[in-house]
Chains A and B, each alone.
Chain A
Amino acid sequence: MNVKSFVKKYTMVIALVAVFILFGLLTHGRLLYPQNMSNLMLQNSYVLVLACGMLLCILTGGNIDLSVGSTVCLVGALAAQLMDKSGMNAILVIFICLMVGAVIGGWQGFWIGYVHIPPFICTLSGMFLFRGLGRVILKSKTVPVKDKTFLNIFASYVQIPGLDDNKIKWSALIIGIVIALIILITVFTGRAKRARKGYAVGPLGSELLKKVIIAALVVFYSWKLANYKGIPVMLIWVLAVVFIYAFITSKTALGRYFYAVGGNEKATKLSGIDTRKVYFLAYLSMSFLAGLSGLLMAARIASVNGDTGNAFEMDAIGSCFIGGASAYGGSGTVAGICIGAIFLGVINQGMSIIGLDNNWQYIVKGAVLLVAVIFDVVSNHKTGKA
């Protein structure tokens, strides 16, 4: 691979490394403090979760879901009220809340998929509707979240007695190293499997190099976590969602359908695929994840108010487009949008540490989004012509 195609393929990774180094320098290394590294993930957990759902919507043809932030608020409000007022069991609350998220998704998915209401309008209505309902449930107050079980499930840290009693949480490092080893081993087992079946096997060098870098980053990050409070449970939730969605989009027939609908809906329909169901599922999953995010947020902030989740949809949409999803649908990967989300996260975190105020953060975010999309459009245009 020559330099040019390398740069093209890994543009966002390079950009991420660049902003990381930039803010590392601007903050005099404070960005790399264990606490900040840990918070980097936690503060962006909701963005990562929502971006996964948003990717499916965007894949179907650049469609977005504007109601996400309001759904976060509604579900968070429901969880807080159920636990605060009626003292319901936390597990039951979680179950009910996730179901409510799914029902909201079913509601929107039905109108968009089966009645062909334009997604923009349908979810704009949802944005008002669910925000209003959330505030009604909250009775316009801030409701605290105090349930121990609930907080443990979402906002605690992995603590293994004997390992994590001291300042350094060894469990984090051990788990990190195990994951790194698994990543490296799968390189060889995967190649062996392919070779055994008689399939072509690519060059070892570049594949190994890539995986070694990823493994090293995992170990590095787990060392940072070990130096703070250990592995946050929230990180496990986020990684689970990311892996499930990465798997669905890249490996399954269902995932393929989202790309197909975005690429050419008519051709997809004539291939015997129920395109209405594809839309339905995209919005169903989106609101389900918004519900999950509502729970994560309620636990992380430990309270819910009428403005919870405000403009979350914009962060999710921004991550997708920065991460290379096409604004016209049909292309984009979970790995890409994760990089997009972390990219936004690093900028946010970096600017907060430096002490730039919120207003400037908006300006920078806006500029970054525009540049990313311009770059995407221009580079695709060029290759499209050749």
Chain B
Amino acid sequence: MADHILVMKNITKEFPGVKALDNVNLEVERGEIHALVGENGAGKSTLMNVLSGTYPYGSYTGDIIYNGEVCHFNTLRDSEKLGIVIIHQELALIPELSIGENMFLGNERKGRFGIDWDRTYHEARTHMDQVGLKESEHTMIKDIGTGKQQLVEIAKALSKNVKLLILDEPTSSLNEEDSRMLLDLLLSFKKQGMTSIIISHKLNEIAYVADRITVVRDGSTIETIDNHDRTVDEDRIIRGMVGRELSDRFPAREHNVSKEIGLEVKNWTVHHPVYTEKIVDDNVSFKVHKGEIVGFSGLQGAGRTELAMSIFGHSYGTGISGQLFINGKEVKLTNERKAIEAGLAYVTEDRKGNGLILPQTIAVNNTMARLDKVCNNGIIDTVKENLVAEEYRDRLKTKTPSVQQAAGNLSGGNQQKVLLSKWMFADADVLILDEPTRGIDVGAKYEIYCIMNDLVAQGKSVIMISSEMPEILGMCDRVYVMNEGKIVAEMDIADASQEKIMAAILKSEKKEEEKQV
């Protein structure tokens, strides 16, 4: 019989009114990488929270058997004592503290009087070397990127003597390069005998890294797929997740690109808002036709979000120069209001932080950018507002019982739909979608793609910034590749491929290096 480090038996967890987990069974073998996949709200995170003791013993039914013993975890600390460490999607690091301080937060290395800082930083160094993090242990968290922060979290887990590492969406905010590094790190830990459970929406990564894959759907485990020989492909996993075959991940569209130009940007240069001498976007020129989806590909930090936000009413950056043309007319958009009135929309990558007012209702969020459309002389017609929200709910198939529901109660995919509704209601002609499908499940992604197709069918222009290359290749008519604030390549989609895009990025980096030499 296989050696199981963890068995979760008949786990059932109920929230008021919802059965989040229904008789879930999960078996994890010692030394494997086990993937949990499923649509948003399927119950993956809930299951891991039960395991880690975030939901204490007694709030669920069923047994957790770890190393052959039945465990009753009441707090996170109980499970950590036994070497079960969970790293959440939203990293729990404190920006103003150093890497070393963060690693031993709540787990301080004590000396005779207070904290033994020498030991703290020495041990921090050891674990950082294990994960290959080449930063000083004294560097502040706020000064390193998300990729490195993720490594700090893993180093932190190592400092807790981790036996079973749980990663919830570890790569959702990483670019492909950093993601690959992280996954390879997991594989090297596996060789040293560590067991990991990984939750992810990125199925190509799962197929690459996981030995076995358990599919969760609607609060139940559907099946466990063996992937020891790495033969499982994405379609096989998707079939399990949605319970049907998703024949195409990208909806078909008639490519009806008009000759007319929706948005044209010429010689756009943006400086960093704080370090004003630093150039974030350097002399960027591009255009989008009506009825066209244009992709912006590139690594994280290439300056794509900054470009989009600076175009959208100078909402990012200082020392902005260059020209903007909307429908052939030059416009000067010095604030967000002017940008909206000119027919521009920026749908943020950070829907919780920059997009929605989570405690407010769907209806309120829906009309936020153009409240005047449901107002008479500054007085809101709430009934009309609700009708508007209901119309968009039906059009975009947002799953919610009522538009009076707080946006924060919705799942990621449905929040994204509310955010799109908001900007569709704003009558934008040019929509900039920044990572529109980040952190949402396959089914919802497909629906978002359909909405994008509808928008261009109406003659609108769509700019999609995305770090997922398949999405760029599957959806766009044309693609610009950005690196370090510059557009380094422009390709028709017929000529584009993942290899060509990566090559364009790498080539531009080489050129930079040559220049510096």
User: A residues engaging B (CB < 8 A)?
Assistant: 194, 197, 199, 251-254, 256, 259-260, 263-264, 266-274, 330-331, 386
Pairs A-B, 4 closest by C-beta atoms:
A263-B357, A272-B337, A272-B336, A272-B340
Whether the Cβ atoms of B379 and A267 lie closer than 8 Å is no
Given A267-B355, A386-B16, A272 and B360 contact (CB-CB distance below 8 Å): no
CB atoms of A267 and B356 under 8 A apart: yes
Query: In the complex where A270-B336, A270-B346 touch, is A253 in contact with B357 (Cβ < 8 A)?
Result: no
Q: List chain A residues, Cβ under 8 A from B140.
A: none
Within 8 Å CB of A330, what residues of B? Answer: 357, 359-360
Determine which of B15, B337, B354 lies in contact with A273 in the assembled complex, contact meaning CB atoms within 8 Å.
B337
Q: Determine if B232 is an interface residue (Cβ-Cβ < 8 Å).
A: no
For residue B356, which residues in chain A have a CB less than 8 angstroms away from its CB?
A: 264, 267
Given contacts A253-B380, A260-B368, A386-B16, is CB(A274)–CB(B337) below 8 Å? yes
Interface residues of B (CB under 8 A from A): 15-17, 312-313, 315, 335-337, 339-341, 346, 348, 353-360, 364, 368-369, 371-372, 375, 378-380, 382-383, 422
**Can you list 28 A-B pairs with a CB-CB distance of less than 8 A?**
A251-B380, A251-B382, A252-B375, A252-B379, A253-B371, A253-B372, A253-B379, A259-B364, A260-B360, A260-B368, A263-B360, A266-B353, A267-B353, A267-B356, A267-B357, A268-B357, A268-B368, A270-B312, A270-B336, A271-B368, A271-B422, A272-B339, A272-B341, A272-B369, A273-B336, A330-B357, A331-B359, A386-B16
Question: Chain A contacts of B353 at CB under 8 A?
Answer: 264, 266-267
Contact A269 B380 (CB under 8 A): no
Contact of A264 with B357 at beta-carbon distance under 8 Å, contacts A274-B337, A386-B15 already known: yes
Please name all residues of chain B whose beta carbon is closer than 8 Å to the beta carbon of A253 when the two chains form the complex. 371-372, 375, 378-380
User: How distant is B14 from chain A, measured CB to nearest CB, in Å?
Assistant: 11
User: What residue of chain B has the Cβ atom nearest to residue A197's Cβ?
Assistant: B383
The CB with the most chain A CB atoms within 10 A, among B15, B348, B380, is that of: B380
Q: How far is the CB of A118 from chain B (nearest CB, A)?
A: 17
- Find the A residue at minimum CB distance from B16: A386
Chain B residues with Cβ below 8 Å from A264 are: 353-354, 356-358
Tell me the minimal C-beta distance from B292 to chain A in angstroms.
24
Q: Which residues of A contact B372 (CB under 8 A)?
A: 253
Which residue of chain A has its CB nearest to the CB of B351?
A267
- Neighbouring B residues of A256 by C-beta, 8 Å: 364, 371, 380
Q: Is the CB–CB distance between A263 and B16 below 8 Å?
A: no
Chain A residues, Cβ within 8 Å of B368: 260, 267-268, 271, 273
Task: Tell me what chain A mostly uses at the interface: helix, strand, loop, or mixed.
Answer: helix
Which residues of chain B are near A273, meaning CB under 8 Å?
336-337, 368
Most chain B beta-carbon contacts within 10 A, residue among A194, A254, A271? A271
In the bound assembly, the distance between CA atoms of A197 and B387 in angstroms comes to 12
In whole angstroms, how far apart are the Cα atoms of A353 and B382 in the complex?
45
Contacts of A194 in B (CB 8 A): 383
Q: How far is the CB of A49 from chain B (nearest CB, A)?
A: 23
What residues on A are CB-neighbors of B312 within 8 Å? 270
Distance A199 CA – B422 CA, assembled complex (angstroms): 22
Which residue in chain A gives the minimum CB-CB distance to B340?
A: A272
A267 CA to B368 CA in the complex, in Å? Answer: 9
B315 touches A269 (CB 8 A): yes
CA distance A331 to B16 in the complex (A): 24
Q: Roughly how many angstroms separate A251 CA and B377 CA in the complex, as a whole number?
A: 11
> Inside 8 A of A263's CB, which chain B residues have their CB?
357-360
Closest to B369 in A: A271
For the complex, give the distance between the alpha carbons of A270 and B364 in Å.
Answer: 15
**In the complex, which residues of chain B have a beta carbon less than 8 angstroms from the beta carbon of A266?**
353-354
Query: Is A252 in contact with B378, judged by CB distance below 8 angstroms?
Result: yes
Q: Given A253-B378, A331-B359, 9 more contacts at CB 8 Å?
A: A251-B379, A253-B372, A260-B357, A267-B355, A270-B346, A271-B336, A272-B336, A272-B369, A330-B357
Closest residue to B422 on the A side, CB-wise? A271
The reply to whether A272 and B358 contact each other, CB–CB distance below 8 Å, is no
CA A315 to CA B16, docked complex, whole Å: 38
Residues in A whose Cβ lies below 8 Å from that of B348: 267, 270
Shortest Cβ distance from residue A301 to the other chain B in the assembled complex, whole angstroms = 37
Q: Chain A nearest CB: distance from B434 CB in Å?
A: 11
In the complex, A266→B375 CA distance in Å?
23
Taken together as a complex, chains A and B put the C-alpha atoms of A259 and B380 apart, in Å, by 14
By CB atoms of chain A within 10 A, which of B312, B336, B382, B422 has the most?
B336
Chain A residue, CB-CB nearest to B408: A384
Closest to B336 in A: A272
Inside 8 A of A270's CB, which chain B residues have their CB? 312, 315, 336, 346, 348, 354-355
The CA-CA distance from A268 to B312 in the complex, in Å, is 14
Q: For residue B368, which residue of chain A has the nearest CB?
A: A271
Question: Whole-angstrom distance between the alpha carbons of A134 and B355 in the complex?
Answer: 45
Residues of A within 8 A of B16 (CB): 386
Question: Which residues of chain B are near A274, meaning CB under 8 Å?
Answer: 335, 337
A330 to B408, CA, bound (A): 14
When distances are taken between beta carbons in the complex, the residues of chain A under 8 Å from B355 are 267, 270
Instruction: Give Cα A83–Cα B16 distance, bound, in whole angstroms.
Output: 64
Distance between B298 CB and nearest chain A CB, rounded to angstroms: 22
Query: How many angstroms between the C-alpha atoms of A264 and B380 in the bound complex?
Result: 20
Q: Which of A197, A252, A259, A386 contacts B360 (CB 8 A)?
A: A259
Best-surrounded residue of B315, B357, B371 (most CB of chain A within 10 A): B357
Across-interface contacts of B354 in A (CB, < 8 A): 264, 266-267, 270
A329 to chain B, nearest CB (A): 10
A259: B residues at CB distance < 8 A: 357, 360, 364
Q: In the complex, what residue of chain A is closest to B313 when comparing beta carbons?
A: A272
Q: How far is the CA of A268 from the CA of B369 in the complex (A)?
A: 8
Contacts of B380 in A (CB 8 A): 251-253, 256
Q: What is the CA–CA distance of A351 and B312 in the complex, to the nearest angstrom?
A: 58
